[in-house]
Structure 1
């Protein structure tokens, strides 16, 4: 590879080629208008970041970048933040310390962060090398020697080429967690080398015992004792340093793994189909994210140390055989017995742990049900019966936990007995060998120490069989989660090549919530023209909310299909699809953050003026202006829900209005909110947006249904009627 030099590339560049990149300036201004706060000293780097984005991925949408920058809010836009944002956009980086003139053109664009100067971007344009000055925003031909500094080069991170991707795991046969651990192979090798060093140092103890007995005790000469003490101190010091180094490696690797597994698990949960998540309990979702705790305990606890010390057992046996010959036989026999104890205890623990988990799950379900229905339990006088159920379930749970604990206690008692037997046999055999003159007293003392060292890892493992089973279950749970099919498979960060219209079609849709449940509706078909307003009503459980969620892909029908803008929604990327639909759920969720941030959830690049316009149309602008800091007031979701529920619902409406979508879905609003004034807001929105957006809304009020062009009446027994309100009412 011959590096492309600055001098040779710039030779044919005109001297006066100095330009200002208006596209970068506009991109930067668009992000700034979305409340991206950049300190004056960071503006040069922010402009360089915008140019890098435009060069690395010209199709990236500003809203994607703005959404990521919202997560980095409050941090100085330094080199670390820039790298993290680009990593979130799917780019890896390489930090190099070389002369910028020696960079190969194939790795450009590159961020040059000179020491004591403003950042710059080095890039190729029409086979010429240019330098983008972040401070001035100018593009100048790169000539001569460039200032030295940190250089960052970026490349697209291809998910399918990662060791943890499904394709690579299928090729290598590794599980997800093992593939992730493979990234830490260099660190694991270093830890194994350190463990080997510690194992060798541990052999110094019996060797020192032999030396003291041979050079001091037997001869009566204390002159060598000082040198032996010095050697012992040196061994202790080196062992301390090695153990500290091993702990540092283990702590770093644990923290890194914890971060990677936690982020990957959370991202996986976000990308799973809605039906997969709705069928699982909240406790199960939390348990999936917290699965790594058992792995963390293994890496930082005594179990990891015992695993690293297993080679010590073989070394101790070899040295024991070298010193005492026949003394190794009882130790080897006890080691085999300990392995059998571990195997039996592991099998029994696995069964007992599954039983205990089932009992704990039943107890947890009962507790949640009790708190949810506490008022009904009191009103119906079910307290004594509920207390009896609690005693039964609690007793079953505690008995299962006791049986699980007893397995470990019995296994540990057996292990203690085996170690005692081993010590007795070594002493017994050693005494006979001493009487026979085969070994000396010092060898027997060293042999006892060696046999304890050889048995220590297996002895410790017996007491941690339950943790081993928890570790195995945690890894299996992580692998199971990461092996689930995601909802999203297409590229998410590029600009949509088309904008969907509001033309919505349901074709022969059939839906049931469970395989054993009756059909909610069957053969439902509806063709909604662009700009049409459709009202939906029906009894509870008739599928009104499910019908609204179908265009979003949140509810998948068993039969039939849904088309939006002429496209089958199954052919579209779910994220791109939902970005083109405005949706007001039945229960509006607010997040801890400012009013503006809660609105920008649906449109990260929204300007403050656009947010105010949406709030005004939803009837919430005056209320927001009365808040202490207006749009920048930090909301407390729990307090808003209790004190100002009307504001919460109006913010939900404003979110839907803020998103420039051709289809708007409004689920049924609570009667209390409608009576408090939300009904006038809905009337105003329906009147103003009629013809501009296709609107589907759910309501039980006849006065709202009269605002619709057509009405859908769901009967709850699988049927549906579509038509003008008067005609539908005459049929029903």
Structure 2
């Protein structure tokens, strides 16, 4: 299957989304900025009062005046502490609110991706977006955005106070600006691209490692160990180069930034002393100016530090927003299905260009019919099943239900007509009731138990510690693969589609249990259309018709008795299975 790279949003889209969030939370944002601005203003009290104290002492003053100035220092410090506390609380609340919305939005975006795209995208890309990128964005939203706002407000307030104190004493601190501006511009031009490359290399590395672990036995059986090792080494090498590139940017940027921090303090102290000697500034003003410049270092340092984190968060946000840019795999035309007849006409399909795996398949399945598809591995059974379920669309030809192409039906309507259940299944962290109610949120306990009874699962469910309220999933109650498969089938019973495509859905259950389960399902699915892709031929024996798929074509089609009598491929399979 050809790999599909999920898109990444461009910087313009990221900025649009950030502006949307700012407009949405404008009132809370103003509150946060206002509180931090007041805290920054309170923080100016100490340097200014300290300068006044020095000038008063040099000019000669009373103990009462000194006491008042010291009390003023304490009052400013206490006020700043209180305001900082409430400002930090408001920042945290805003960050958590935005983060919750981002997570919910991302879940909606992921769930809207066409299943065909999900399967082609590979595990690594989606896993890194849902784990590493979400974690990076969480850190940025929780800490980076509030800290950046705090730093910007502090810089504006403190810089304004320095100019108000003495425009002349404010001039020396400008010596660090060229270093900071030049270094920041150099860094920003390279950072986004570098971090996107780093995230992409992480995705590729994780994808390769996942494939290596999941396909370890297959790799060993075909002697492909060396090729897998070469792939892993190459992925590690690229990941190393990508991370080294971002580290290289930081090792150049931060020494420049540190120089931009230190020069203003030194120059203000040096020129301030000279200004004092010339009589252009008082000693107190010089001390206050030096303290204010030193006070500027922390917010500038934080701004630049979090700017690096914002680049990481921005790259992660671009990857998360890119999920919603995945093109739809179907074009809804509004054509309604006249009935539940499923037809495939001249169907060809390929995962890779110019390499069809289905070659002109023609098949018609009447409502209520049970069709079994059998054939050797790799013949195209599962691919045809996916097309019959509307997961993928044919390259040429058409697959229709009641005359309406499956890929032109809205997903909600499509799933009311046909549903696919495969060997793959998932147990979500939650109660057993919640796991089953995914298929029908309005289902009550009686409906859920009836669905469990239909798939022979009610007995073991009632023996669970808390019955339907038993929590399943990681670190909770674990169910066996066969039980998980029964729960997946119970979801189908609740979903109640007219047509079911079962792709070896009972393969993890032992033959006797599987046969009993399928007979139980037969009673529940009476009157529904069933397409069973099976490797156990008793499913074919019980079907109305059997389609033998070989090399991407339907080689034989008929009832079990007819195909046995024809003495063709199916008859050979039946005899070998009976032996």
- Output the TM-score relative to the length of structure 2: 0.81
* Counterpart selection for 1:503 from 341, 346, 358: 341
Residue of 493, 496, 500 corresponding to 1:664 = 500
SS in 1 for 2:400: strand
The structural deviation recorded for 1:383 is 8.6
- The question of whether the paired residues in 1 share the 8 Å contact of 2:506 and 2:514 is answered with no
**Cα distance in 1 between the residues matched to 2:469 and 2:65:** 77
Contact preservation (8 Å) 1:580, 1:661: yes
Q: Shift in Å at residue 716 of structure 1?
A: 2.5
Partner residue in 2 for 1:180:
21
What is the 5 A alignment of 1:143-542? 175-290=16-131, 291-301=133-143, 304-374=146-216, 394=236, 397-398=239-240, 400-485=242-327, 501-514=339-352, 516=353, 518-542=355-379
By how many angstroms is 1:250 displaced? 1.0
Q: How far apart are the structure 1 equivalents of 2:508 and 2:555?
A: 28
- Which structure would you say has the larger RCO, counting Cα contacts within 8 Å and 6 or more residues apart? 2
Q: CA deviation at 1:697?
A: 1.0
> How has the CA–CA distance of structure 1 residues 321 and 242 changed in structure 2, closer, same or farther, with 3 Å as cutoff?
closer
* Residues 265 and 486 of structure 1, relative CA distance in 2, 3 Å threshold: farther
TM-score (norm 1): 0.66
Residue equivalent to 1:80: none
Q: How many residues align?
A: 552
Query: How well do the aligned residues superpose, as a CA RMSD in angstroms?
Result: 4.0
Q: What secondary structure sits across from 1:557 in the alignment?
A: coil
Task: Write the distance in 2 (CA, Å) between the matches of 1:299 and 1:372.
Answer: 35
Deviation at 1:698, TM superposition (A): 1.2
CA distance in 1, matches of 2:437, 2:448: 8
Structure 1 pair 434–401 and aligned structure 2 pair: CA distance change class (3 A): same
Distance 1:583 1:376 in 2: 26
Higher helix residue share: 2
Q: Report the Cα offset of residue 272 of structure 1.
A: 1.6
Change (3 A) 1:181 1:558: farther
| 1:354–1:570 CA distance, 2 compared to 1 (3 A) | closer
Cα displacement string for residues 600-659 of structure 1 (whole angstroms, at most 9, x for unaligned residues): 44344445555555545544455555x256953737468999975444444444444455
Q: CA deviation at 1:273?
A: 0.8
2:530 is aligned to: 695
Q: Secondary structure at the match of 1:700?
A: coil
Task: Supply the distance in 2 between the matched residues of 1:183 and 1:596 (Cα, whole angstroms).
Answer: 36
Give CA-to-partner distance per residue, 1:510-532, whole Å, 9 cap, x none.
Answer: 22123x36112133232212222
CA drift of 1:466 comes to: 2.6
For structure 2, which runs of at least 5 residues remain unmatched after alignment?
A: 1-11, 570-579
Classify 1:278/1:424 alpha carbon distance in 2 versus 1 (closer, same or farther; 3 Å). Answer: same
Partner Cα distance (1:710, 1:559) in 2: 25
State whether residues 562 and 568 of structure 1, in contact with CA within 8 Å, keep that contact through their aligned partners in structure 2: yes
SS in 2 for 1:367: helix
The 1:428/1:480 distance shift into structure 2, 3 A limit, reads same
CA deviation string 1:231-255 (max 9, x = no partner) = 1122112211221121111111111
Asked whether the equivalents of residues 640 and 647 of structure 1 are also in contact (C-alpha less than 8 Å), the reply is no
8 Å CA contact 1:580–1:660 kept in 2: the answer is: no
Match for residue 79 of structure 1?
none
Counterpart Cα distance in 1 of 2:374 and 2:505: 12
Distance in 2 between residues matched to 1:381 and 1:571, nearest whole Å: 44
Once the two structures are TM-superposed, the CA of residue 266 in structure 1 deviates from its matched residue by 0.8
1:545 to partner: Cα distance: 2.3
Write out per-residue CA displacement over residues 359-401 of structure 1, whole angstroms, 9 at most, x where no aligned residue: 4445434433443355678889999998898777656645653
Distance 1:401 1:306, change over 3 A: same
- Once the two structures are superposed, residues 451-486 of structure 1 have per-residue CA deviations (whole angstroms, 9 ceiling, x without a partner) of 223444333333344312112213322332344456
Contact 1:505 1:564 in 2 (8 A): yes
Q: 1:500 to 1:333 in 2, by over 3 A?
A: farther
Q: Any idea what SS the aligned residue of 2:110 has?
A: helix
Q: Is the 8 A contact 1:535 1:705 kept in 2?
A: yes
1:678 to 491, 501, 514: 514
State the Cα distance separating 1:335 from its structure 2 match: 1.8
SS in 2 for 1:673: coil
Return closer, same or farther for 1:569/1:731 CA change in 2, 3 Å cut-off: same
Query: Whole-Å Cα distance in 2 between the matches of residues 255 and 416 of structure 1?
Result: 32
CA distance in 2, matches of 1:264, 1:643: 31
